[in-house]
Structure 1
Amino acid sequence: MRLKGKTAFITGGNSGIGLATARAFIAEGAKVAITGRNQETLDAAAAELGEGVLAIRADVQDVPSIERAAARAAEAFGKLDIVFANAGISGATPLGGTSVDAFESIVRTNLTGAFFTVQAAAPHLRERASIILNGSVHAPVHGGPR
């Protein structure tokens, strides 16, 4: 149990890579706080993960909600050892056909959200804590202009 006694804060921990990471961290002994925008999937993830998880509804596009979530996780667990800025979105954003609103939503979640997640968690980190940033590129899947 390599993470026994450690605490983690994972944005987007209610599904996908975030949920899989939460499972792995708990299996290794960590206590985990997960965030998500959708209460239904957040509740399902918390039920699946069981003891050692704190589920917090928060949206990385809403900086005050992420600040509250990080503070709540730290209050529940004490200092944080791991921050996984995982929350992200994709969408149909073809070059030459992407709306400003779609582009700005993706940037607010995938870039701005990751930055402010780390900033919100920073005051609650233990010395020698870890920060994990998750990113992906959809160009190989969706392709460029044709």
Structure 2
Amino acid sequence: MSANGSRFDGKIALITGGSSGMGLATARRLLDEGASVVVTGRDKARLDAAVEQLNAGDRVLAVPGDAANIADLELLADAIADRFGHLDVVFANAGIGAFQAFADVTEAEYHRVLDINFKSVFFTIQKTLPLLADNASIVINASFALHRGSPGAALYSATKAAVHNLARTLASELSPRGIRVNSVSPGYTATPAFFAEASPEIQASVTVGVPAARLGTSEDVAAAVAFLASAEASYITAQDLLVDGGLITATSAAQI
């Protein structure tokens, strides 16, 4: 358990894409700090395995479903209402990496990536909004990619810029209820998705540009999400928190 072990006592948190990586680490962190958590994922077998790893009994509710499917999100909201009655935290984490030359992006790929990376975030928040308590917190998983242009990342980066702007807009719209909305932007992070999507050459080379001289971990991101979702961040809203080892805002000594 963390040093802040009681920050989420009695709180209910939803984490989409919670079966691995940053989502699973965040579920574990919030459980350690006293929350009950709802985790979602498209693959029921992986979701069941995640619940077994979390080993938190009736403090975990696993709801299989596609975060980009409106009907699945409505079922999710119903399940949360039936089990817990409300939400205090939403971590809209579901998303994918998608990298290819701008000229090669097809209409089908455009819709696939926007559905998973933007539509899922937009409608996860919309469909669970009636369950959110006043003074709740929403955190959206964005990416360092929204802060700079990179070849082969036009579609991916655009979706991440979109979800951060959504965070800023909702921070304004939901402020009368005291609901805070922020995003986190992880840098290169050692997740199953990173190792599946990045070539061995990229995996070996990316830390050269990171002042912290290492890949981030899912636990690094979970700590940032937990902070933003907690009362300690009560005066922080409409912000993007880079969790990137200095990648965007500093120069690595290895590059000098």
Is the contact made by 1:93 and 1:103 (CA closer than 8 Å) also made in structure 2?
Answer: no
Query: Which of the numbers 37, 40, 56 marks the counterpart of 1:32?
Result: 37
**Cα distance in 2 between the residues matched to 1:81 and 1:139:** 27
**Cα distance in 2 between the residues matched to 1:129 and 1:139:** 25
Q: Which moved more, 1:61-70 or 1:5-14?
A: 61-70
More strand, by proportion: 1
**Cα distance in 1 between the residues matched to 2:89 and 2:41:** 17
More helix, by proportion: 2
Give the equivalent residue in structure 2 for 1:105: 112
TM-fit CA distance, 1:91: 2.4
Give runs of ≥4 in structure 1 deviating > 3 Å.
Answer: 137-140
**Cα distance in 2 between the residues matched to 1:21 and 1:45:** 12
Between 1 and 2, higher relative CO (CA 8 Å, sep ≥ 6) is seen in: 1
Percent identity of the aligned residues?
41
Query: Which of the numbers 56, 72, 92 marks the counterpart of 2:63?
Result: 56
Q: If the length of structure 1 is used for normalisation, what is the TM-score? A: 0.91
Query: Which of the numbers 4, 15, 18 marks the counterpart of 2:23?
Result: 18
Q: Which moved more, 1:65-74 or 1:114-123?
A: 65-74
Instruction: Check if 1:71 corresponds to 2:78.
Output: yes
Structure 2, unmatched stretches of 5+, are 1-5, 153-256
TM-fit CA distance, 1:97: 1.3
CA displacement 1:23-59 (0-9 Å, x = unmatched): 1000001000000001111000011112211111010
CA displacement 1:112-144 (0-9 Å, x = unmatched): 11000000110111111111111125589xx41
Give the letter aligned to residue 109 of structure 1. I
**Cα distance in 2 between the residues matched to 1:93 and 1:63:** 28
Is the contact made by 2:68 and 2:123 (CA closer than 8 Å) also made in structure 1?
Answer: no
Give the letter aligned to residue 72 of structure 1. A
What aligned pairs does 1:80-119 form with structure 2 within 5 A after superposition? 80-119=87-126
**Cα distance in 1 between the residues matched to 2:30 and 2:101:** 36
What aligned pairs does 1:117-132 form with structure 2 within 5 A after superposition? 117-132=124-139
Q: Which moved more, 1:74-83 or 1:32-41?
A: 74-83
CA displacement 1:58-96 (0-9 Å, x = unmatched): 101211101211221232112110111110012233221
Q: If the length of structure 2 is used for normalisation, what is the TM-score? A: 0.53
Is the contact made by 1:71 and 1:121 (CA closer than 8 Å) also made in structure 2?
Answer: no
**Cα distance in 2 between the residues matched to 1:27 and 1:109:** 29
**Cα distance in 2 between the residues matched to 1:119 and 1:32:** 19
SS in 2 for 1:89: coil
Larger Rg: 2
